[in-house]
Structure 1
């Protein structure tokens, strides 16, 4: 233990020096009130924002002002990240942030209104490991294979779990049949009794419902409303546009097994989306801040690819989100891959699933 102490001290000193230099490189940033007012007015028009009263509008302006100034200060901020417990290899990377539809919200409000993973009573199903030395290319992107539909928007319905499950089924169906069909999230929101509709749910129960009923119908025949309604039983039972026979759980906390699965098809994962930097992410490889604790994940996305370099700092997962193409890098976020902690960036390796047919 004594022999490791100098190493830890050096790392702590280096981290402190780097953080100090970053603070100096990012001085306080504040736009004139009139400029922020002008931006807020244009932002309200762009997103058709209306508030119930003047007091609410002023409250939202205050949050918008804080977010605008924070984005300006962050700019192309370089962040420092350590390994588990703050120790381990140090990585410096650039993440970009920018204004989007969440400009008048703070991070807790985004989580409350636009995520939706419900981990109450959650138990990870028995995992199905793939052979360790199975074929796995260095880079996979199912978008380039035409196996990923366009970015969708869940709205303020807490239905990320349904969107993540549907994206995985859409990918599997394209790979299996050669046809890309946009499938129905609304069917899962209305019919999955293992979840709670617009009050949150789980991708594994959604995949389980699709498997029990033999598949899922198309978005065209069961369009998304963003409101939990009565289940259309006829479409649930007799109008499958994509076949689903089952689903499997990737062994938890194993990024190698996750990569083996993603090399075959898109995979759903749960992550922590609580950070301000996540809320306004626009590009770069995201390494945090976020929690990697399984008990803290709150959002579901679909991993549609990955890349393993060249270089240790260029390993990332390609995650499809359901917050519209106005968010992130045209609707996607690139999450750091093969990090020193087993649960993965923002907990993405804790509970991955994929459908089977």
Structure 2
């Protein structure tokens, strides 16, 4: 008999190791996160005590090698993201920003000394990182950034601000991208550095179980070795973003799956007119539509994961997955809410929380419009960004 949550049996394509990772992460989040995440979302808090436990599971920078990182496959990392976001996008964002953005930047572009200093502590969850690229007036167009880094006799001075930075208010180390005379460079800015402050963004309606912050650099003095030596030009931070977007296209499948599974359980238990609402044609039409789109998104993530493991994944592939899978997840979350009716608007059920979170996922790390233009250029050979 077919699994009603995975009608095509896509998960059967996983290796034994990948299934073990899936089951381990799923068991952890079901035990440690799912019972509490509704309250965290309502209160607008994120429990930092989870960080060491996530580190013990090897989830921080798990696709990286050395320095305490797990060295897992891209697909295995994607599966972990799927299970994390099945509980809440904020949890997946916490792990994704730590590993795919901050740790990846240091791993790719940092000196050996920087790697030795930060990566083992970040892999264990002892040190939290953030990634400062987006600015108040320059989101989709990072080339317009105004943050500057100027050389001094003893190193560098940074001035500028970054906005919508996940983990910013709790990070021990910030990877900040700034314009220099030699182009865009990355800098490691430890918390407590003179001239560096953070401000958490409150009153969010989305990603409430996540810390989102502004970073401010005002005559922020850094030593010469604070620069990521091999980071030159926008290709450096954009390559890190592509790693994070890969996690997103998998994570969206997890959010969609949880919404569909919640709606299915509710429909089979909710009785109206003397029968479960799952027995009515219109409800079955909704469930079938969700199941079809969920499996197609799952297959998309699986294929892109295999392409990445084979070294054949391009930016357009990741844009395809992010654009499609987040769009599908949002549609499923909204449809699931209609099945739950009034019950769907409370934190007792996950669907509206997922829908609210996915509104952020839809626009961060590349809006739908930007990913549409990436694919448009891949199809036509003509860039249409301006």
- The alignment's TM-score, normalised by the length of structure 1, stands at 0.27
Please identify which structure carries the higher helix content. 2
Give the TM-score taking structure 2 as reference length.
0.25
